[in-house]
Amino acid sequence: MALWAALADEIAAFVLAGCCAGCDAPGTLLCDECRAALTAEPVHTSTPDGMPVISALAFDGIVARCIRRVKEDGETLLARPLGAALADAAAGLLAVHPNALLVPVPTSAASFRRRGYRVPDLLLRRAGLAPARLLRPTRRTRDQRDLDVEERRRNVTGSMRARHARDAGDVVVVDDVVTTGSTLDEAARALTAAGFRVCGAVTLAATPRRREF
Protein backbone atom coordinates (compact mmCIF):
# COMPACT_ATOMS: atom_id res chain seq x y z
CA MET A 1 0.00 0.00 0.00
CA ALA A 2 2.79 2.36 0.98
CA LEU A 3 4.41 1.72 -2.40
CA TRP A 4 1.18 2.60 -4.22
CA ALA A 5 0.79 5.75 -2.13
CA ALA A 6 4.36 6.79 -2.91
CA LEU A 7 3.80 6.11 -6.60
CA ALA A 8 0.55 8.08 -6.57
CA ASP A 9 2.36 11.00 -4.95
CA GLU A 10 5.06 10.86 -7.58
CA ILE A 11 2.53 10.79 -10.42
CA ALA A 12 0.66 13.72 -8.86
CA ALA A 13 3.90 15.68 -8.54
CA PHE A 14 4.76 14.90 -12.16
CA VAL A 15 1.36 15.97 -13.47
CA LEU A 16 1.38 19.13 -11.39
CA ALA A 17 4.93 20.09 -12.30
CA GLY A 18 4.70 19.42 -16.06
CA CYS A 19 8.04 20.11 -17.68
CA CYS A 20 10.92 22.54 -17.29
CA ALA A 21 10.07 26.02 -18.61
CA GLY A 22 13.60 26.44 -19.92
CA CYS A 23 14.37 23.13 -21.66
CA ASP A 24 11.22 20.92 -21.52
CA ALA A 25 12.89 18.32 -19.25
CA PRO A 26 9.96 16.39 -17.73
CA GLY A 27 8.87 16.35 -14.12
CA THR A 28 10.03 19.75 -12.95
CA LEU A 29 8.93 23.33 -13.36
CA LEU A 30 12.56 24.44 -13.62
CA CYS A 31 15.54 22.06 -13.77
CA ASP A 32 18.78 22.80 -11.92
CA GLU A 33 20.64 23.86 -15.08
CA CYS A 34 17.93 26.26 -16.17
CA ARG A 35 17.60 27.62 -12.63
CA ALA A 36 21.34 28.38 -12.73
CA ALA A 37 20.84 30.19 -16.07
CA LEU A 38 18.48 32.59 -14.27
CA THR A 39 21.25 33.81 -11.95
CA ALA A 40 21.62 37.57 -12.45
CA GLU A 41 24.58 38.81 -14.49
CA PRO A 42 23.76 42.51 -14.47
CA VAL A 43 24.34 44.48 -17.67
CA HIS A 44 24.57 48.29 -17.54
CA THR A 45 23.17 50.29 -20.45
CA SER A 46 21.27 53.55 -20.88
CA THR A 47 18.05 54.74 -22.50
CA PRO A 48 17.87 57.05 -25.55
CA ASP A 49 17.52 59.96 -23.06
CA GLY A 50 20.58 58.80 -21.12
CA MET A 51 19.00 57.23 -18.03
CA PRO A 52 21.15 54.41 -16.59
CA VAL A 53 19.55 50.95 -16.84
CA ILE A 54 20.63 47.80 -15.01
CA SER A 55 19.29 44.54 -16.49
CA ALA A 56 19.65 41.26 -14.63
CA LEU A 57 19.74 38.94 -17.66
CA ALA A 58 20.01 38.82 -21.45
CA PHE A 59 16.63 38.16 -23.09
CA ASP A 60 17.46 35.04 -25.09
CA GLY A 61 17.46 31.23 -24.77
CA ILE A 62 16.33 29.85 -21.42
CA VAL A 63 15.72 33.32 -19.96
CA ALA A 64 13.42 34.34 -22.83
CA ARG A 65 11.48 31.07 -22.58
CA CYS A 66 10.96 31.46 -18.83
CA ILE A 67 9.85 35.09 -19.16
CA ARG A 68 7.38 34.14 -21.90
CA ARG A 69 5.96 31.42 -19.66
CA VAL A 70 5.20 34.08 -17.04
CA LYS A 71 3.92 36.68 -19.51
CA GLU A 72 2.01 34.54 -21.99
CA ASP A 73 1.21 31.23 -20.24
CA GLY A 74 0.35 32.39 -16.72
CA GLU A 75 3.15 30.36 -15.10
CA THR A 76 3.42 32.59 -12.07
CA LEU A 77 5.55 30.12 -10.05
CA LEU A 78 8.50 31.24 -12.21
CA ALA A 79 8.11 34.76 -10.86
CA ARG A 80 10.04 33.71 -7.76
CA PRO A 81 13.39 32.76 -9.40
CA LEU A 82 13.00 35.58 -11.94
CA GLY A 83 12.11 38.05 -9.19
CA ALA A 84 15.26 37.01 -7.31
CA ALA A 85 17.36 37.92 -10.37
CA LEU A 86 15.58 41.28 -10.66
CA ALA A 87 16.23 41.97 -6.96
CA ASP A 88 19.95 41.16 -7.41
CA ALA A 89 20.15 43.67 -10.27
CA ALA A 90 18.32 46.29 -8.17
CA ALA A 91 20.57 45.82 -5.15
CA GLY A 92 23.38 48.03 -6.53
CA LEU A 93 21.06 50.99 -7.17
CA LEU A 94 19.27 50.54 -3.84
CA ALA A 95 22.63 50.54 -2.01
CA VAL A 96 23.29 54.04 -3.42
CA HIS A 97 19.66 55.24 -3.06
CA PRO A 98 18.36 53.29 -0.03
CA ASN A 99 15.09 55.22 0.23
CA ALA A 100 14.19 54.95 -3.46
CA LEU A 101 10.70 53.65 -4.23
CA LEU A 102 10.52 50.90 -6.86
CA VAL A 103 8.01 52.08 -9.47
CA PRO A 104 6.80 49.51 -11.99
CA VAL A 105 6.04 50.54 -15.56
CA PRO A 106 2.22 50.37 -15.67
CA THR A 107 0.46 47.44 -17.30
CA SER A 108 -2.25 48.26 -19.85
CA ALA A 109 -5.82 47.52 -18.79
CA ALA A 110 -6.09 44.96 -21.61
CA SER A 111 -2.95 43.05 -20.49
CA PHE A 112 -4.09 43.07 -16.88
CA ARG A 113 -7.50 41.69 -17.87
CA ARG A 114 -5.87 38.96 -19.96
CA ARG A 115 -3.28 37.87 -17.35
CA GLY A 116 -4.90 38.79 -14.08
CA TYR A 117 -1.60 40.18 -12.79
CA ARG A 118 1.01 42.84 -13.54
CA VAL A 119 4.36 41.23 -14.43
CA PRO A 120 6.84 43.80 -12.99
CA ASP A 121 4.77 44.11 -9.78
CA LEU A 122 4.57 40.33 -9.41
CA LEU A 123 8.35 39.95 -9.86
CA LEU A 124 9.01 42.55 -7.18
CA ARG A 125 6.55 41.04 -4.72
CA ARG A 126 7.92 37.52 -5.20
CA ALA A 127 11.36 38.95 -4.37
CA GLY A 128 10.02 40.45 -1.16
CA LEU A 129 10.13 44.01 -2.51
CA ALA A 130 7.18 46.41 -2.48
CA PRO A 131 6.09 47.92 -5.81
CA ALA A 132 5.11 51.60 -5.52
CA ARG A 133 2.33 51.93 -8.10
CA LEU A 134 2.76 55.62 -8.84
CA LEU A 135 2.28 55.42 -12.62
CA ARG A 136 -0.98 55.01 -14.53
CA PRO A 137 -1.47 54.50 -18.28
CA THR A 138 -3.32 57.48 -19.76
CA ARG A 139 -4.06 56.04 -23.18
CA ARG A 140 -3.63 52.93 -25.27
CA THR A 141 -0.34 52.27 -27.06
CA ARG A 142 0.39 50.02 -30.03
CA ASP A 143 2.23 46.72 -29.70
CA GLN A 144 5.88 47.85 -29.76
CA ARG A 145 7.35 44.69 -31.27
CA ASP A 146 7.61 45.81 -34.90
CA LEU A 147 8.44 49.45 -34.20
CA ASP A 148 11.88 51.06 -34.53
CA VAL A 149 13.42 53.38 -31.93
CA GLU A 150 11.76 56.57 -33.18
CA GLU A 151 8.37 54.90 -33.67
CA ARG A 152 8.55 53.46 -30.16
CA ARG A 153 9.32 56.88 -28.72
CA ARG A 154 6.32 58.41 -30.50
CA ASN A 155 4.13 55.45 -29.50
CA VAL A 156 4.71 55.92 -25.78
CA THR A 157 5.05 59.74 -25.52
CA GLY A 158 2.40 61.04 -23.10
CA SER A 159 1.12 57.52 -22.37
CA MET A 160 1.65 57.62 -18.58
CA ARG A 161 0.90 59.89 -15.67
CA ALA A 162 2.43 59.79 -12.18
CA ARG A 163 0.47 60.39 -9.02
CA HIS A 164 1.58 63.65 -7.42
CA ALA A 165 2.97 63.26 -3.93
CA ARG A 166 3.81 66.03 -1.50
CA ASP A 167 6.88 64.14 -0.25
CA ALA A 168 8.05 63.02 -3.70
CA GLY A 169 11.50 61.48 -3.28
CA ASP A 170 13.85 59.10 -5.08
CA VAL A 171 12.41 56.50 -7.44
CA VAL A 172 13.74 53.63 -9.55
CA VAL A 173 11.71 52.58 -12.61
CA VAL A 174 11.16 48.82 -12.91
CA ASP A 175 10.12 46.79 -15.97
CA ASP A 176 10.35 43.17 -17.09
CA VAL A 177 12.11 43.55 -20.47
CA VAL A 178 13.86 46.59 -21.98
CA THR A 179 14.26 46.85 -25.74
CA THR A 180 15.03 50.41 -26.86
CA GLY A 181 14.37 52.05 -23.47
CA SER A 182 11.71 54.43 -24.79
CA THR A 183 9.09 53.11 -22.33
CA LEU A 184 11.50 53.65 -19.42
CA ASP A 185 12.18 57.22 -20.65
CA GLU A 186 8.44 57.91 -20.77
CA ALA A 187 8.05 56.56 -17.21
CA ALA A 188 10.91 58.79 -16.06
CA ARG A 189 9.35 61.81 -17.82
CA ALA A 190 6.02 61.28 -16.04
CA LEU A 191 7.69 60.77 -12.64
CA THR A 192 9.94 63.83 -13.07
CA ALA A 193 6.90 65.92 -14.05
CA ALA A 194 5.25 64.87 -10.76
CA GLY A 195 8.30 65.99 -8.76
CA PHE A 196 10.10 62.68 -8.21
CA ARG A 197 13.87 62.23 -8.61
CA VAL A 198 14.52 59.32 -10.96
CA CYS A 199 17.73 57.48 -9.99
CA GLY A 200 17.67 54.99 -12.88
CA ALA A 201 15.89 51.90 -14.08
CA VAL A 202 16.12 48.19 -13.37
CA THR A 203 14.79 45.47 -15.66
CA LEU A 204 14.71 41.72 -15.44
CA ALA A 205 16.09 41.33 -18.97
CA ALA A 206 17.49 43.29 -21.91
CA THR A 207 16.91 42.20 -25.51
CA PRO A 208 20.10 41.54 -27.52
CA ARG A 209 19.02 44.44 -29.76
CA ARG A 210 19.06 46.68 -26.71
CA ARG A 211 22.57 45.59 -25.81
CA GLU A 212 23.95 46.81 -29.12
CA PHE A 213 23.37 50.44 -28.06
Contact residues for Zn ion, defined by CB under 5 A: 20, 22-23, 25, 31, 34
Minimum distance of Zn ion from residue 197's CB (angstroms): 41
State the DSSP code for 77: G
Pairing of strands 160-162, 135-137: antiparallel
CA distance 71 to 69: 6
> Measured between alpha carbons, how far is 210 from 213 in angstroms, rounded to an integer?
6
> Are 171 and 101 a contacting pair, CB within 8 Å?
yes
| In the complex, least distance from residue 110 CB atom to Zn ion, rounded to whole angstroms | 31
Looking at the Cβ atoms of 65 and 163, the one nearer to Zn ion is 65
Q: Closest distance between Zn ion and the C-beta of residue 62, in Å?
A: 7
C-beta closer to Zn ion: residue 22 or 120: 22
Q: Which is nearer to Zn ion, 29 or 206 (CB)?
A: 29
Nearest to 125 by CA among 162, 170, 80: 80
Nearest approach, Cβ of 18 to Zn ion (angstroms)? 12
Q: Which is nearer to Zn ion, 63 or 202 (CB)?
A: 63
